[in-house]
Amino acid sequence: MNRLFQVRFLMSCALCVVAITAQAQISYVTARIGCLDSPTANAGNLTRLVVAACAGQRFSCSYRAPTPQEYTRAGVRATSRTFCTQAMEISYHCGQDAGPAKVVVVPGDAWNQPPAQLSCPQNAVTPPANPRQAPVLRNILEKYKGCILEKYETQQDLRSRGLDARLSGLTSTSGLQDRDIITCAAGNPCSRFSRRTAYDRLLDQANRGDPTNFQEELQRAVPADCFQCASHRERHTRHVHCTMDCGGNNGPFQGPCFEACKAPDSITKLLNDIAEDFRVFGNELQHTTW
pLDDT range class, residue 5, cuts 50, 70, 90 = very low
Between 289 and 122, the higher pLDDT residue: 122
| Three-state secondary-structure class, residue 232 | coil
pLDDT attached to residue 290: 43
C-alpha to C-alpha distance for 245 and 258, rounded to whole angstroms: 8
- Indicate whether 66 pLDDT > 50: yes
pLDDT range class, residue 95, cuts 50, 70, 90 = confident
What integer best gives the mean pLDDT of the chain? 84
Between 43 and 13, the higher pLDDT residue: 43
pLDDT attached to residue 1: 43
C-alpha to C-alpha distance for 140 and 135, rounded to whole angstroms: 9
Are 41 and 79 in contact by the 8 Å Cβ rule? The answer is: yes
> Which range has the worst mean pLDDT, 23-27, 110-114, 124-128, 280-284?
124-128
285-130-16 Cα angle (round to 5): 110
C-alpha to C-alpha distance for 34 and 192, rounded to whole angstroms: 20
> What's the residue count for the chain?
290
Beta 102-106 vs 87-94: how paired, if at all? antiparallel
For 25, residues 6+ apart whose C-beta sits below 8 A from its C-beta are: 55, 56, 57, 58, 59, 94, 95, 120
Q: In what order do the strands lie in the sheet with 26-34?
A: 26-34, 87-94, 102-106
pLDDT attached to residue 263: 79
**Mean pLDDT over residues 65-71, rounded?**
94
- Indicate whether 41 pLDDT > 60: yes
- Indicate whether 9 pLDDT > 90: no
**Mean pLDDT over residues 4-18, rounded?**
41
pLDDT tens digits along 188-247: 888 888 898 889 889 988 998 888 889 999 999 999 999 999 989 899 999 999 999 999
**Mean pLDDT over residues 61-89, rounded?**
93
